[in-house]
Amino acid sequence: MGSNLAFGEYSQEVLEKATILYNDAIDLYKQDDVDKSIDYFTKALELKPDFYEAHYNLAQILMSINKNDEALKSLEEIYKIKPEDTENLYNLGKTYFKKGYLSKSYEYLKQIKTNAPQYDSAKLLIAKIEKRQDELNLEEKIKKHENISDSQGKLKAIELAEFSAPSGTAIDSRGNVYVASFLENQIYKISIYGQKTVYSKSNLIQGPIGLAIDKDDNIYVANYSVNNIIKIAPNNIASIFADINKPYCLFYDMQHNRLYATEQSTNKLVKFDL
């Protein structure tokens, strides 16, 4: 904690009193008398509201004892005095994040420039905010449609994403959903936060129909157009699993660690013990 002052338009008497209170607050904090230190910083600020150093040190103490509401008052005052202070911008973002005000946190963190010492930390926190916002958006989307029925009492579908000729679907152990696109010859992934990405577009995928996922999160794809089933490992490496005539539907039996597949051209059901 420092003791340099940047004085504004105040009488000499007021400045001297504010300085004494400030220095006493520093000494009290060093003596571990936190409550009294806070009181003295507050009194100094009553005399000199734009006392940057008093706001700074008071905010640091309040944040350290998780009095975030009170800390934010000083942090906001620092922002008015020195809006370019990147340490304060990060503290504002971090404290608002702790309180759950994601938009407010993002507003301050985005002001931190790439050459600032706090940039990398701010970038990580922004990633957390974006992830949490995705979670909240998905929760809101599900909540909005949950248990909504039409006039005949039927549940309405909840739209999660759009695809070109979607066919098989499957879900992994973490709750991510996978969808095969027959026309595009690729597998899409919808994360638990609702984000749609291309998971695999291996050259081995040709006319995918059915999908299944085993206990180790290996994905099996029924390649209808080229008469085989391919396996996509968790590291996204694809390989031919088995040759089969016009594979259509796939089902994984976890209890017996077994994969079932239907052969449309032969009207048969076949199984593979994994």
DSSP letter (8 states) at residue 164 = S
Q: Please enumerate in sequence order all residues whose Cβ is within 8 A of that of 77, keeping only pairs 6 or more positions apart, or say none.
A: 49, 50, 55
Distance of alpha carbon 180 from alpha carbon 230, whole angstroms:
13
CATH 1.25.40.10 for the 1-82 domain, yes or no: yes
> What is 166-273's CATH topology?
Neuraminidase (2.120.10)
Checking if the pLDDT of 8 tops 80, the result is: no
Please give the pLDDT value at position 202: 94
132 falls in which pLDDT band (50, 70, 90)?
confident
Both tokens assigned to 124: 């990580």
Checking if the pLDDT of 1 tops 70, the result is: no
Asked whether the beta carbons of 249 and 261 are under 8 A apart, the reply is yes
In percent, the amount of the chain with pLDDT more than 90 equals: 76
Distance of alpha carbon 116 from alpha carbon 114, whole angstroms:
6
Pairwise pLDDT comparison (194 vs 257), residue with the higher score = 257
Looking at residues 117-139, what average pLDDT do you find?
Answer: 84
Looking at residues 140-168, what average pLDDT do you find?
Answer: 68
Lowest mean pLDDT among 64-78, 151-165, 187-201, 206-220: 151-165
Closest CA to 106 of 79, 87, 133, 136: 133
